[in-house]
Amino acid sequence: PRGLGCAAASTGRRSYGNIGPRMAEITLENLTKVYPDGTRAVKQLDLEVEDGEFVVFVGPSGCGKTTALRMVAGLEPITEGLVKIGGQVVNNLPPKNRDIAMVFQNYALYPHMSAFKNMAFGLKLRKVPRPEISTRVGDAAKVLGLEGVLPKRPRTLSGGQRQRVAMGRAIVREPKAFLMDEPLSNLDAKLRVGVRASLSELHRRLGVTTVYVTHDQTEAMTLGDRVAVMREGRILQTDRPQKLYEEPKDLFVAAFIGSPAMNLVQARIDGDEIVFGQYRVPLDPVRRPDRASGEIILGIRPESFEDAAFAPAEQGTIEVIVTVLEELGADAHVFFRVDARQVTAEALEGKEDATLIADSTALFSARVDPRTRARVGEPIRLAVDPSRFHFFDPETGASLLTERRPAAVAMAGR
Ligand code: ATP
């Protein structure tokens, strides 16, 4: 039904009591979208979402995530390439025949219907027998923790409950796959965390293939089995969240994933040392860039620093002047200036040919022990761990990290 925020159809099938996996891998091959006005919104996406997998598309506004999802749903004509669901090419299949259910940001429940009726509505339209509707809605309500509120109208539900009703509406269809577009973005921050957790649990219980779109990297990292980071219509990297975090293959991925963000500055390799701003730090013998000299972009995650007072004595240190101190209880963030040009995700969100580097001195953040004695305006020693540095090519943004084999290290150490 129009305005419901759902696009799916499934014919009467087994009841909800026996939730079980139904084969539905989703494959994108060379998927491309050019809008009639010439906008190239999606460029040659290749992706395999395995049966039962939860994959998140994440990227800044306008990177093409929604367009990609809408092509999978059948709501947007495909310019080039293929979408397969369960091995079948669905390019020319209308949405209702794709056996998928969508959950959007604007879930638009019918205000005059109870939560139960909102969830049952699509099934009723499809003439699913009444007892089966009851069973399916009842089971979905149980999964979603909505049992107590089924008789209530949307207006009398909390935002989180309303969003769960919208999800319930998708679940009762028992689709092969869920497609979700920013389903949590209408919720306030606290609610979002709660609904996010129930969404995770739901996925674990139902095991339904899910493609989820968000601009929020925390959502992506917490929900996704794998995360595809998009920029300007392309997928830059698809990986497990921890791998994306630890081994970003690209400068943009490095800048986008992680909060506070990775510190990224222009730096210079000088033999076995790296120079950035006023600092010169020995490189780790194993984890280092694939070149012995020249300009690169250095990346240091905030947690690769520590207040030297709380770090192992053998770690190298730098002295910094504290510009800002944020005490967060569980840890503290120390901000300090580095006299070098900074790369930010915002700078990277510009046009494809825009310079990667913002023309300003860098403001670094360090995540340190909350017992730190750091005081604004005063110097402090920070231990820094070069074995966790990242390196990127300033021209292409590609990671320059190589892991030298131990034998080579032994040679280098002589
Ligand atoms: P957001 O998070 O802001 O929704 P997104 O990553 O989902 O962004 P899309 O909505 O897929 O991005 O849009 C990708 C690009 O395609 C943008 O440049 C957008 O302006 C453009 N675009 C979207 N819809 C159309 C349309 N109907 N006609 C022309 N261009 C469009």
SS (H, E, C) 183-230: CCCCCCHHHHHHHHHHHHHHHHHHCCEEEEEECCHHHHHHHCCEEEEE
Where in 76-192 does DSSP place strands (E)?
Answer: 80-85, 88-89, 100-104, 177-181
409 pLDDT exceeds 60? no
State residue 402's pLDDT score. Answer: 73
15 pLDDT exceeds 70? no
6 pLDDT exceeds 50? no
Q: 63 CB under 6 A from ligand 1?
A: yes
Q: How many other β-carbons are positioned within 10 Å of the β-carbon of residue 398?
A: 12
Q: 10 CB under 6 A from ligand 1?
A: no
For 288, 401, 403, 406, the CA distances from 409, given in Å and listed in that order, are 11, 15, 10, 5
Q: What does pTM read for this prediction?
A: 0.85
Q: 229 CB under 6 A from ligand 1?
A: no
Ramachandran region, residue 117 (left: φ > 0; alpha: ψ -120 to 50; beta: rest): alpha
State residue 350's pLDDT score. Answer: 55
16 pLDDT exceeds 60? no
| Nearest-CA residue for atom 18 of ligand 1 | 62
State residue 348's pLDDT score. Answer: 64
19 pLDDT exceeds 60? no
Strands, sheet with 80-85, edge to edge from the N-terminal-most edge strand: 40-49, 26-34, 80-85, 88-89
Best substitution site from 32, 63, 211 to test ligand 1's pocket, by max atoms within 8 Å of Cβ? Answer: 63
Tell me what the mean pLDDT of segment 280-284 comes to. 95
Lowest mean pLDDT among 26-35, 113-122, 154-163, 182-191: 182-191
Residue with tokens 């939560």: 115
State residue 345's pLDDT score. Answer: 62
Lowest mean pLDDT among 31-45, 117-131, 284-298, 299-313: 284-298
Q: 65 CB under 6 A from ligand 1?
A: yes
Where in 5-63 does DSSP place strands (E)?
Answer: 26-34, 40-49, 54-58
Q: Omega before 183 cis (within 30°)?
A: no
Q: 92 CB under 6 A from ligand 1?
A: no
Q: pLDDT > 90: what percent of the chain?
A: 64
Lowest mean pLDDT among 34-48, 172-186, 190-204, 326-340: 190-204
Residue with tokens 């997998």: 53
**Structure-token pair, residue 149:** 């509120």
Atom of ligand 1 nearest to the CA of 37: 29
Tell me what the mean pLDDT of segment 12-17 comes to. 39
In DSSP terms, which residues pair with 361 in a beta bridge? 341
In DSSP terms, which residues pair with 358 in a beta bridge? 342
Q: 35 CB under 6 A from ligand 1?
A: yes
The larger pLDDT score, comparing residue 24 to residue 21, is at 24
State residue 7's pLDDT score. Answer: 36
